[in-house]
Amino acid sequence: MYIAVKGGEAAIRNAHRLLDDRRRSDRSVPALTLDQIVGQMALAVDRVMAEGSLYDQELAAMALRQARGDMIEAIFLLRAYRTTLPRFAAARPLDTFRMRIERRISAVYKDIPGGQLLGPTFDYTHRLIEPAMADDPPVDEPMRRLSEAENCPRVTDILGAEGLIEADGQAGSDGEPGDLTRDTLDFPISRDVRLQALARGDEGFLLALGYSTQRGYGRTHPFVGEIRIGLVDVEVELPEVGFPVGIGRIRVTECQMVNQFKGSAKEPPQFTRGYGLVFGQSERKAMAMSLVDRALRADEFDEERTAPAQDEEFVISHSDNVQATGFVEHLKLPHYVDFQAELDLVRRMRREQERPREETESVQEAAE
């Protein structure tokens, strides 16, 4: 028998109205504009785009505003939006070598061709709350210095030229990559699908896993070969015209992690690699991604899988915060019937446990 319980309608309606009020809060304070969120909460917008797996700053800002700043709620909103749209095409792979660089650092070479460009970083700030953040004092224009168009070769290419590091992968492996938004995951999965999952994975989860590898749970001995942040052109092959055209630019962060070397009878010792690529300016996420990418390649290097970060099914199955929050948060929805069933069961078990004792007692009474 199933009995539907009604009566929540008015409560839900009023709760949502209350939410609208609380979201807007004090009406005498101006509402946030999307420009303000995109401009001044830029890294929050970047995170929502990365984990929402949809590059659209304005939508991410709307989602953040609607979610009252709750990142995972905003990410959920963006994911839901993307399911309403048709996919027109796949772009050509982004060429990060030709990135318009805003920040580029290497922790392995001091005098790297192209140089160390700090860009707009929190590094080397005092990490003390600045009183200026309480008001809106004038801000200086950035310094400018004449820039010679200098190529920034990848650090991995520099090491690669000497054969001291593994290559990017099989040349010409330009087959159609797997797509976890269309195909069900069937473990073990290939590295392309893993990278797709990690690129949209929860920053906190990947950060913790990356940290765990540093603490010894699947050690990979990492160095930051290079981090670069900047703008890349997006090109799409248009079937209507038969050639690729530029459709605009996006900002990405790329991390090349250089890891412990490995040699074998066939190959001389060389460094191994982990890779991270993330929407927006997000080097913590890109670094965590590259640590986890490398840890998950344990089998390729005959490393024993002993740590959580090396367990592909564990990592990939739990990295998506929209899935995770869906399953955790569903627990707060009514489970009245399920719980009633469990309650009945416990009561019955208790009764059955008590009955034999009563029966033996009554038998003894009769004997006496």
Partner 1 sequence: MESESAFAEEGRRRAMSAFAVASPRLLSEAWGRFGDDADVTPVRGPEIGLVMLRGRIGGGGGPFNLGEASVTRATVRLSSGEVGHALVLGRDPQKARLAAMFDAAWQRPDWRERVEVEVVAPSLAAQEEADRKLAEETEATRVDFFTMVRGED
> With contacts defined by CB under 8 A, how many residues of the chain interact with partner 1?
85
Residues 6+ positions from 42 with CB-CB distance below 8 Å: 280, 281
**159 touches partner 1 (CB under 8 A):** no
Compute the least distance from the CB of residue 221 to partner 1, in Å: 18
Residue 81 CA to residue 148 CA, distance in Å, equals 42
Compute the least distance from the CB of residue 298 to partner 1, in Å: 17
**59 touches partner 1 (CB under 8 A):** yes
Q: Of 93, 143, 117, whose CA–CA distance to 230 is shortest?
A: 117
* Candidate list 21, 33, 97, 337; residue touching partner 1; CB under 8 A: 97
Residue 99 CA to residue 252 CA, distance in Å, equals 9
* Candidate list 9, 174, 186, 338; residue touching partner 1; CB under 8 A: 174
**277 touches partner 1 (CB under 8 A):** yes
Q: Of 65, 71, 4, whose CA–CA distance to 34 is shortest?
A: 65
Compute the least distance from the CB of residue 289 to partner 1, in Å: 11
**231 touches partner 1 (CB under 8 A):** yes
The smaller minimum CB distance to partner 1, of residues 18 and 247, is found at 247
The smaller minimum CB distance to partner 1, of residues 179 and 354, is found at 179
Q: Is 268 left (phi over 0), alpha (psi -120 to 50) or beta?
A: beta
**8 touches partner 1 (CB under 8 A):** no
Which residue's entry shows tokens 């040349």? 171
Distance of CA 134 to the CA centre of its chain: 31
* Candidate list 42, 94, 164, 185; residue touching partner 1; CB under 8 A: 94
Residue 351 CA to residue 8 CA, distance in Å, equals 35
The smaller minimum CB distance to partner 1, of residues 50 and 288, is found at 50
Q: Is 270 exposed, middle or buried (0-12, 13-18, 19+ CB in 10 A)?
A: middle
Compute the least distance from the CB of residue 314 to partner 1, in Å: 21
Structure-block tokens of residue 287 = 């670094």
Residues 6+ positions from 150 with CB-CB distance below 8 Å: 113, 114, 115
The smaller minimum CB distance to partner 1, of residues 92 and 348, is found at 92
Site stretch for partner 1 (CB under 8 A), options 30-38, 64-72, 172-180, 316-324: 172-180
**139 touches partner 1 (CB under 8 A):** no
Q: Is 235 exposed, middle or buried (0-12, 13-18, 19+ CB in 10 A)?
A: middle
Distance of CA 86 to the CA centre of its chain: 23
**72 touches partner 1 (CB under 8 A):** no
Compute the least distance from the CB of residue 251 to partner 1, in Å: 11
Site string for partner 1, 191-230 (x = CB under 8 A): xxx-xx--xx-----------------------------x
Residue 104 CA to residue 226 CA, distance in Å, equals 7
**234 touches partner 1 (CB under 8 A):** yes
Residues 166, 273 contacting (CB under 8 angstroms): yes
**189 touches partner 1 (CB under 8 A):** no
**54 touches partner 1 (CB under 8 A):** yes
Structure-block tokens of residue 363 = 């038998």
**156 touches partner 1 (CB under 8 A):** yes
**305 touches partner 1 (CB under 8 A):** no
Residue 46 CA to residue 285 CA, distance in Å, equals 11
The smaller minimum CB distance to partner 1, of residues 84 and 364, is found at 84
* Candidate list 15, 31, 238, 349; residue touching partner 1; CB under 8 A: 238
Site stretch for partner 1 (CB under 8 A), options 35-43, 52-60, 130-138, 213-221: 52-60
**117 touches partner 1 (CB under 8 A):** yes
